[in-house]
Structure 1
């Protein structure tokens, strides 16, 4: 947001983010070239896994974008990027199974998913308004209380990132269990799927670390202003 000595706090998060991006790109590119022995596309795998759990009312749709896959609890729709939807690679099946895991979380009333969904508006507001208020509070000392308010708002965005971690890890755990139970992938293929999902999970860890360290930085800056 702006430079000062506390920026060094963000270095671990930056390094982890770069490593996470490398890992997901490497894993996805590698396993997207390996065809699943079942021949199922990502869309077909998601549909088969949903049907095996009686979730016939959850739709699977194709969307544009690269790794833009997600599940929307409001519409009960699994949206898969075109490469995943139409692709029959190990990466496509793994990603589709992960999003199916989110649908299963929703169906079973998984509390962290419900909590994350309820936090979306507050997190979006906090990530936008928080840094802006902090900036105003720093450069306009007479409005220093805005600095504290901005930190409070930004904390909501940080909390959202932390809640996201168990949601994503649990979805991947469910995905691997579904793939093994449904025998959509062989044991060797499951290892490949796990590599893709673990790499994807690392990006969420990096995002959470970045948010926590940024919050710590803001708090240190605010403390320094009070001591001046």
Structure 2
């Protein structure tokens, strides 16, 4: 049975507060880091697109195109279906430290695919599952809470919804090392092929570390949400 008294649907939200505060701090930190280093020109004077191309070529990925897409900065991505690095016009055409390291981060994902990095393969396998389970988890959980007061199907719906959300948490758990590794590869490649000096490297590390923390925050929020779901269960 599931209930509204005690740790009810609304009172259980208290467990999300630490994760929400942490997320706000992380978002403020990445905005601050990006704002600062997007105003500082990198030592080589190369754009994000040029940096991406240089790192790709240095890793034997000449077949991976660098596309310029519409959209704001920080919406850049690597597309495994087309094996392409896609950069916003702001990142692709700017020669700032921030633009360079964000572009190289996306190249980091291309390198992961190129070397067969296992966690990114696992994440890709989870994507279609998570796209489905994330859509139905909370509706099923809420339906289970409502029906638990009237019939036995409430427990079934609640448990199915909980299982769906476990996949969401698992996806965030796998995503974190994938993103951290992509940033680590970016920093290493930027230093190895000589497109950064010491000042650039320090700034790039700050930007990429701040960006990586967004995935830590996402995982923390997902885990807190799962804890909230567990608190909604009547164990008596």
TM-score strictly above 0.5: yes
Q: Deviations over 1:106-140 (max 9, x none)?
A: 00000000000110011111111111100111112
* Contact 2:9–2:232 (CA under 8 A) maintained in structure 1: no
TM-score (norm 1): 0.96
Three-state SS of the structure 1 residue aligned to 2:61 is: coil
What secondary structure, in the 3-state scheme, does the structure 2 residue paired with 1:62 have? strand
Greater Cα radius of gyration, structure 1 or 2: 2
Mapping of residues 94-109 of structure 1, within 5 Å: 94-109=101-116
Partner of 2:200: 189
Q: Take 1:91 and 1:21, find their aligned partners in 2: how far apart are those partners?
A: 16
List 4+ stretches of structure 1 deviating above 2 A.
none
Structure 2 gap segments, 5+ residues each: 1-7
Partner of 1:221: 232
Partner Cα distance (1:3, 1:118) in 2 = 32
* 1:12 Cα deviation from its structure 2 partner: 1.1
Which residue, 14, 19, 24 being the options, matches 1:18? 24
Which residue number corresponds to residue 45 of structure 2?
Answer: 39
Structure-2 separation of matches of 1:123 and 1:140: 25
CA contact (8 A) 2:20 2:221 kept: yes
Give the alignment of 1:16-95 within 5 angstroms: 16-66=22-72, 67-95=74-102
1:138 corresponds to 2:141? no
Normalising by structure 2, we get a TM-score of 0.92
Q: Which has the higher contact order (CA 8 A, sep 6+)?
A: 2
Backbone CA RMSD of aligned residues = 1.1
- Tell me whether 101-110 or 121-130 shows the greater mean CA deviation: 121-130
What residue in structure 1 maps to residue 172 of structure 2? 161
Count of matched residue pairs? 224
